[in-house]
Amino acid sequence: MSRDAQECGVNVVIGLIGSKWKPSILWRLAEGDHRFAELRRGVSGISEKVLAEQLRELERDALVSRTAYEGFPLRVDYALTPLGEELNDLLDPVAQWGDAYLADKALEAPGG
Amino acid sequence: MSRDAQECGVNVVIGLIGSKWKPSILWRLAEGDHRFAELRRGVSGISEKVLAEQLRELERDALVSRTAYEGFPLRVDYALTPLGEELNDLLDPVAQWGDAYLADKALEAPGG
DNA sequence: CGGTATCCCTGTCGATACTG
DNA sequence: CAGTATCGACAGGGATACCG
């Protein structure tokens, strides 16, 4: 695959978090550690398969860390890495802009 | 489709520019107006169909404006709207972070 | 609880040919 | 030059069932 699209930097970030669920996962994790089931509930309609998938990618990309505990019942915690927090912070103004954009659009097309 | 994923704001922005080529198109446009063929060359391996598609979406989303001139040969200019510039500016630090991320990864896996 | 395996559906993108 | 039409490939994601 490599990078056929320009390496705008933005493309890198989109490659990292540009999937359907990753931003939501990251937001949840920004609040603190979460277990698998918590994320499953917190994120909305995501399936187990996809959540696990996204989590593995996030882990691979060093944005999220996974901690498994030995006891029973099974327990695994997911948390943002420093890198993940960095990105999350960076994305905060973007999120605000996105909200404002949405509000603006709502005004233009109230009948939506 | 609507928005099943959380409206994190980031998801909004990803919906706007999270496709394969839009960031690159936006970067080009950030340099100033461009004609269709200029974008086609500037963006790399994008096909006419996809470029036209992306441009229409960008226009629909009020990020890009289209200006057609009557004369011949045909001439159409694309430019960032104020909103588009806003977003582009906002994304600049994100792009820098993305570059740094990439450089960092390159160090970790030189044999990549 | 915390996952993995399977199968399918859909959207996105790519190649190519054609039009005003 | 600046697109549109058509067809096909492919990856991401969804539903469901099963495992340690």
Which chain A residues are within 8 Å of B101, Cβ to Cβ? 12-13, 16, 83
- Please answer whether residues A6 and B43 qualify as being in contact, where contact means their C-beta atoms are separated by less than 8 angstroms: yes
> How many domains are there within chain A?
1
CB atoms < 10 A from the CB of B53, how many? Answer: 14
Closest partner CB to B10 (pick from A11, A23, A45): A23
A43-89 pLDDT, tens per residue? Answer: 989 999 999 999 999 999 999 999 999 988 999 999 999 999 999 99
Q: B111 pLDDT exceeds 90?
A: no
B42-65 pLDDT, tens per residue? Answer: 998 999 999 999 999 999 999 999
CATH code, domain carrying A91:
1.10.10.10
For B28, the domain range is: 5-108
CA distance A62 to chain B (A): 10
Instruction: Work out the angle at residue B55's Cα, subtended by the Cα atoms of residues A54 and B41, and round it to the nearest 5 degrees.
Output: 95
Pairwise CB contact (< 8 Å): A4 & B44: yes
Helices A36-43 and A48-60 cross at an angle (nearest 10°) of 110
Closest residue by Cα to residue A89 from A29, A46, A40, A47: A29
Q: B109 pLDDT exceeds 50?
A: yes
pLDDT in the model for residue A1: 37
